[in-house]
Structure 1
């Protein structure tokens, strides 16, 4: 069984709409993930997804705006692809027919725990911007 690390509460994720954290993965790389509410009765009330569009290295969660969600999906700010908050699957845009990688979380008594054996919690929030993504630039004209 994996070690458990308390990340935050379900209430915090629900109130803020999303919540980000950074881990060290099995390759000793730093990676960011974010939690979003899931309204599917067959799944836990929050899910954890990698903070990167499957189409290209574009952050889905940003410190200044969090994650843009609409109609049960997380919207990529660059091309508008929308990933289901509960399954991570995308069925539109440039990322169509892909699914966001996840990390295992568990919810108990309203608290969210990281329980994935392949990652180690580092800290709340995102890593410093290292220039690997496009920052706030966008080729789309989406407005939210």
Structure 2
């Protein structure tokens, strides 16, 4: 799966990209701003976007999720900002709460892929870090 990573914390961004690629996914980014994320999405057509809510520079993750929805790119918030994520749950499939165990990322993507494909999955298969909104 091609996954857009929008994360402005360099170590977290690189760790996320590495974990996804080790699991066999392709990545776009990491992007650190709303504008970078939009440009990568428009040019790369990702199947999913992992978005930090609080981006330090121009724009924020909630606005990016709104704009990606217009491009038909589903989003998942990856953030410690749980209240903001839940307030904006209509814009994302779910939340991977920070801090999270990097080993939870690949199984979270598997569950999210099943959700996007309309497949069923066991609630027991949900990684600890993942909370689904829909």
Task: Provide the TM-score with structure 1 as the length reference.
Answer: 0.25
Q: Which has the higher strand share?
A: 1
Q: Higher relative contact order at CA 8 Å, sep ≥6: structure 1 or structure 2?
A: 1
State which structure, 1 or 2, has the greater radius of gyration over its C-alpha atoms.
Answer: 1
